[in-house]
Amino acid sequence: MTSIRDSLKRILPGPLREGASRSYWGWHNRGRHRLAGALSPRLWTSRRALASMKNRHVGERCFILGNGPSLARTDLGLLRGDVTFGMNRIYLLYPSLGFQTTYYVSVNELVIEQCASEIRALRGPKFITWRARRWLRGDPEVVFIDSDYTGEARFASEVSRRVFEGSTVTFVALQIAFHMGFTDVVLVGVDHHFATHGEPNAAVVSAREDPDHFSPTYFGPGFRWQLPDLEASERGYRMARQAYEAAGRRVSDATIGGKLAIFPKVDYRSLF
C-alpha cells in the first residue's frame, strides 16, 4: 500500500515536497498525541481529578509566581498562608522561602525532560502537560493537563478538556486558577522582559549564568530552553483579562518593575 508520505514524494517537487512532508508529519505526530490522550486511562483519571477541582476556591485570592529577576527582590515571606501557584523551576526558591507553593505548573517539555527528577521530588498537586508524560510516569501527585501550543487560540475556563498554552506557562496557570474559581488573581515576578534576545520560541543552549530569572542557575550553562515570544504571550494575557473581567473577576499585576502592561498594576505590599 502506498503511504501518504510516499505520495507526497512523487507528486511534489523539491522544497514543496519537503515542506508538505514536514507538515504532514507534524500533523501526524500531533494526531498521535491526541489519540493517545483520548485512549489513555491515565489522562481520563487526570480529567476526573480536574473536574473535582472545579470551583474549589470560589471567591478566594491566589498569587501566581513568575520566575523573573524581580522575584529575588520581592518579600515572598508575606505569601505564607496564601494560595500560590509556582511554575517551572520555582522550586529553586523553596529552601530560602521556607515553604512550597500550593500548586505547581509546568508545560514546557525541555524543562520537564531536564528537571524530571527534581519535579518528582516535589510534594503537592503538580499540573503537567500530557505531552511530557514519558518523564513523569508513576508520579501519583501529577495531574496531567491536555495542553498544546497548536490549534484554536482561546482561554479555557474548563481545564479538564483541551488547554491552549499561549506561549507562556503563566497563561496556563491563569486558566487553571479560573477553573478553580479564584476571584482575585495576583501576578508576582512576571517581569515580561528578557536580556537574552533571538528568534521567538527557538531552542537554545545557555552558555552563561541566567540573567533572565530569579537565580543565575535557573537556566544556567548547558541548559536547553526556548527563547520567549512576548507578543504571543501578550495575546494570551489579553484573552485572560477579557475572560476574568467578563466573569466579574480580576487579575492584577504586583510585579516589582514589571514591563507587562496588560493587567492593572497594584503595589505588592499594599495587598497585606
Which tens digits make up the pLDDT trace of 157-208?
Answer: 999 989 999 999 999 999 999 999 999 999 999 999 999 999 998 999 999 9
Q: Look at phi and psi of residue 80 and say left if phi exceeds 0, alpha if psi is from -120 to 50, else beta.
A: beta
φ, ψ of residue 66 in degrees (nearest 5)? -75, -175
- Per-residue confidence (pLDDT) for residue 151, from 0 to 100: 77
Distance from chain centroid for Cα 15: 34
Is 72 domain-assigned? yes
Which amino acid appears at position 235 of this protein?
R
Q: What is the DSSP string of 185-225?
A: EEEES-----S--SSTT-EEE--S--SSSSSTTTT-TT-EE
Q: CB–CB of 109/92 below 8 Å?
A: no
Is 4 domain-assigned? no
Give the domain range for residue 122. Answer: 43-271
CA distance linking residue 213 with residue 89, whole number of Å = 10
- Per-residue confidence (pLDDT) for residue 38, from 0 to 100: 55
Is 28 domain-assigned? no
Is 51 domain-assigned? yes
Task: Tell me the three cell numbers of residue 150.
Answer: 497548536
CA distance linking residue 59 with residue 38, whole number of Å = 33
Task: Tell me the three cell numbers of residue 8.
Answer: 507526497
Q: Look at phi and psi of residue 263 and say left if phi exceeds 0, alpha if psi is from -120 to 50, else beta.
A: beta
Is 23 domain-assigned? no
CA distance linking residue 156 with residue 164, whole number of Å = 7
- Per-residue confidence (pLDDT) for residue 41, from 0 to 100: 85
Is 206 domain-assigned? yes
Residues of the chain with pLDDT under 70: 1-39
- Domains in the chain: how many in total? 1
Is 18 domain-assigned? no
Is 7 domain-assigned? no
CATH classification at residue 63: 3.90.1480
Question: Which residues make Cβ contacts (< 8 Å) with residue 217, sequence separation at least 6?
Answer: 92, 209, 210
Residue 47, H or E segment = helix 41-53
CA distance linking residue 220 with residue 224, whole number of Å = 9
- Per-residue confidence (pLDDT) for residue 9, from 0 to 100: 40
- Per-residue confidence (pLDDT) for residue 241, from 0 to 100: 98
Q: Is the dihedral of CA 101, 46, 141, 55 positive or negative?
A: positive
Instruction: Kindly state the greatest CA–CA separation across the chain.
Output: 69
Whole-model pTM: value is: 0.85
